[in-house]
Structure formats: C-alpha cells, structure tokens
Amino acid sequence: MAIKLEDFNNIDPKNMGSLPLPVKVVILAFIFVLIVFLGWYFLWDGQMTALESAKGKELQLRDTFMAKKKEAVNLPIYKQQMVDIEKTFGELLRQLPDRSQMDRLLTDINQTGLEAGLEFEQFKPGPEVPAGFYVTKPISIKVRGNYHQLGAFAQNLGKLSLIVTLENLDIVPGNDGRLGVGASVKTFRYIDQSESKPGGQK
C-alpha cells in the first residue's frame, strides 16, 4: 500500500470515495489528529485543569477529615483532661485564702517564725498587688536567729495549709553569732466575687 505524492495533487473534495485507500487513510488520520488536538485545546485542557484542582481539593478535604476524625477520637481524652484541670485548679484555689482569712494567715506566719526561735525586727505587710483572679500580699520581714532556726522557719512555712513563699533572702552574719536575715514573704488570696478590685473597690 504505497503512497504516491501525485495522489494528493488530484484530490477531488466532491468525489472523496474514489480516492486511493492510502490517501483515505492519511486523510482520516489527519482528521483524527486534528479532532484530538481541537478537543484537547478547547475542552480537555480545561477539564484536566479542573481535574487537578479537584484532586488538590480532595487531598485538602481528606486531610481536614482526618484531623477532625482524630479530634473526635481524642474528644473523651480532652474532656477528661479538662475535668482533671478543673479539679486541680479547684484544689489550688482552695489553698488561697479569702479576705476574711488573710489576717489569720499573717498571724500564722508570724507565729511560725516565733516558734522556730527567730527574733523579729520587722514584720511589715505591703499593699496587695492584683494578678488576674488573685492578689499577692508581700510581707517584708527582718529576723535574727541561727542557721537551724532559719531552716525550721522556711520548712514550717511550707507546711502551712495555704500557699506562702519566701523570696529575696538577704543574709548578714551578726556579731553575736546569729544571722540577720531580710526577706520577702509572699502569700496570695483570691478575689471575692463581691469585689472587682483589690481593697473592695467596685
């Protein structure tokens, strides 16, 4: 089935059926290629772009679904963690005195130092410092005593039922063999619902 160039020169569009078979094959192949090209250019190219976009969207939705599924699977764990956090928060909150307990706590701190054998030269409560739902109550102290008395005082502060911290220690040896200690004792109280600011101001 040889193809001759002169066969293409004698093509009669009105009489395509009489063309030699090789010419018909070439013409049909050309028409097929043309249709494929035009189809790709005007139709399939846009659809391929849309398909790629849809694939990307599918992957994004799948990732979102897996993330939501993971959250749903872990939801009971998260709920239990919230319960545990609220329980722990409640326990910590109960260690903060309210305004009615503050005077008693100051007395307990002073008594703790006396029971340890310390001599108080200064016990000066400072103004309350607001910090969210609670306030800090600093107390400036100066005491005299030996090393073991100071250790007992610090240890007994930690045994109080309410939260008390000992900060900014300044230790100076005395001429009598005892130590002079300046420090800041801090305690905390939560803000009552009846007050919006420390000191009862509304």
H or E segment and range at residue 180: strand 179-190
Residue 198 reports pLDDT greater than 50: no
Burial class (CB in 10 A: 0-12, 13-18, 19+), 200: exposed
Question: Comparing 1-10, 80-89, 186-195, which segment has the lowest mean pLDDT?
Answer: 1-10
Comparing 152 with 84, the larger pLDDT belongs to 152
Q: What is the largest CA-CA distance in the chain?
A: 133
Secondary structure (DSSP) of 114-137: HHTT-EEEEEEE---EEETTEEEE
Residue 91 reports pLDDT greater than 50: yes
What local confidence, expressed as pLDDT, does residue 142 receive? 92
Q: Are 42 and 48 in contact (CB under 8 A)?
A: no
Closest by CA to 186, choosing from 139, 143, 147, 148, is 139
Residue matched to tokens 């001429």: 175
In eight-state DSSP terms, residue 95 is T
Query: Tens digit of pLDDT for each residue in 18-77?
Result: 666 666 677 777 777 777 777 666 666 666 677 778 888 888 888 888 888 887 887 888
Burial class (CB in 10 A: 0-12, 13-18, 19+), 140: middle
What local confidence, expressed as pLDDT, does residue 42 receive? 64
Burial class (CB in 10 A: 0-12, 13-18, 19+), 27: middle
Domains of the chain: which residue ranges? 18-94, 99-190
List the CATH code of the domain at 99-190. Answer: 3.30.70.60
What local confidence, expressed as pLDDT, does residue 199 receive? 46
What local confidence, expressed as pLDDT, does residue 140 receive? 92
Mean pLDDT over 108-131 rounds to 88
Comparing 146 with 13, the larger pLDDT belongs to 146
Structure token digits, residue 154: 């610090």
Comparing 155 with 52, the larger pLDDT belongs to 155
Give the chain's mean pLDDT.
76
Confidence of residue 202 (pLDDT cuts 50, 70, 90): very low
Residue 139 reports pLDDT greater than 60: yes
